[in-house]
Structure 1
Amino acid sequence: MKLLLLASLIVLIAGCASKSNLPPATITPSAIKSVEQYQYLIGPEDSVNIFVWRNPEVSGSFVVRPDGKITTSLVEDIPVSGKTATQLARQIETVLGQYIKSPIVTVSVGTFIGPFSEQVRVIGEAANPQAVNYRQNMTLLDLMIQVGGLTEYADGNSAVLIRVENGLQKEYQVSLNDLIKEGDISANVDILPGDIIIVPEDWF
């Protein structure tokens, strides 16, 4: 599956230069609403701080394992990945209720990695291609600053944004040269969780 995805991305990179007819990236009203209502979801390698009122012996800081679970002093294998801190607190209250009378739990997140499905990826001719943790109200400019901008070989104005909308994969054109080199802020667009930016090489 990973090899198939990689092969598909390589094909997309190779074909980006010919996709100037793609629609420009925009944000729909429903997407704007999802950004405004965005809540951080816990993911593998996050650290979560669990405080159980009047029960310090079962409180503590825990690192989420790669399988998305944590182990506490009373309960093993609590699934936490993909939940908000509040959802996790209510879940732990239910679990601890088997051992403690009416537990009151507060959860906070110490380090922020997030689920892989929500990370934003930049591949191709970026200075430092990588997966970046999504942050509420993140824009294309924020993302490009984090990956160090473009290489000298990048065809930034032929870059493609891949986004899943209503279960369907869609492609949009983004003008990175205009944004980064020309300072054209109108080329800046909002980024959503799970977006992929593909920056092709300029062959000419």
Structure 2
Amino acid sequence: MKLDFAGWLAFGLALALAGCASTATDSGATPPAVAPTLTSDYHIGVDDIVQVSVWRNPELGITVPVRPDGMISVPLIGDVAAGGHTPEEVAKDIQEKLATYVRDPQVAVILTDLRSHEYLSRVRVTGAVRQPVSIPYRPGMTVLDAVLAAGGITEFAAPDRSNLYRKSQDQTQSYEVRLDRILNKGDLDTNFTVAPGDVITVPERVL
């Protein structure tokens, strides 16, 4: 099911208010480290940008997006299946096909831009921020990065009661974020590194 922005906003607010058994709160805990993406194990998807290089044959090199049919067009050999394969598998396929035209070809396939999982790998900021947002995840992104992308907090926010929600297997973990200390005191103890799918909520203060 594909949710629009309002749907994601409702989802984030629901998480903030949830007291159900499926949500575990880790007061003072630190979220687990985000594992780096290994592009050698990554399966290429539609719209990903790939760079094909052939040693000693620069005229055969290309940098192209993967088409909706999962194919890329390579000089001399035409269409090659890229979608659903790793860069190493695509390089091997191109190398075998080029052997008909080029002596002992050495092929490298590099991912230059991961686009196919942009809408699955997002970070969302909801609550008392200037502009609730759903932004693409980037390696190294922190809570502060995400909140600043949302325009910062409003005058009605209770920043030190903020939370980061992360789904882990069959439950959602909650981690306390001392956003006031991050923004006003430079205390980065709870400026956690975010992960794809994280939701950050900033509640309003009780008047």
Do both proteins adopt the same fold according to a TM-score greater than 0.5, normalized to the shorter chain?
yes
Structure 2: gaps (5+ residues): none
- Determine the structure 1 residue equivalent to 2:94: 96
The alignment's TM-score, normalised by the length of structure 2, stands at: 0.68
Q: Alignment length, in residue pairs?
A: 191
- Determine the structure 1 residue equivalent to 2:26: 23
Residue 187 of structure 1 aligns with an amino acid whose one-letter code is T
Structure 1 position 7, deviation (Å): 4.7
Structure 1 position 131, deviation (Å): 0.9
- Determine the structure 1 residue equivalent to 2:184: 181
Residue 130 of structure 1 aligns with an amino acid whose one-letter code is S
- Determine the structure 2 residue equivalent to 1:62: 64
Structure 1 position 69, deviation (Å): 3.5
Structure 1 position 13, deviation (Å): 1.1
Distance 2:92 2:28 in 1: 43
Structure 1: gaps (5+ residues): none
Structure 1 position 58, deviation (Å): 4.0
Structure 1 position 193, deviation (Å): 3.0
Q: Percent identity?
A: 25
Structure 1 position 44, deviation (Å): 5.5
Structure 1 position 146, deviation (Å): 3.7
Where 1:189 maps in the other structure, the secondary structure is coil
Question: Which of the two has greater strand per residue?
Answer: 2
Structure 1 position 10, deviation (Å): 1.3
Residue 152 of structure 2 aligns with an amino acid whose one-letter code is G
Distance 1:69 1:176 in 2: 43
1:108-148 deviation per Cα after TM superposition (whole angstroms, max 9, x unaligned): 34445562333323234333423133213x33223333443
Distance 1:13 1:155 in 2: 15
- Give yes or no for contact 2:165–2:200 (8 Å, CA) kept in 1: yes
- Give yes or no for contact 2:162–2:177 (8 Å, CA) kept in 1: yes
The alignment's TM-score, normalised by the length of structure 1, stands at: 0.68
Structure with greater Cα Rg: 2
Residue 164 of structure 1 aligns with an amino acid whose one-letter code is K
Question: Which of the two has greater helix per residue?
Answer: 1
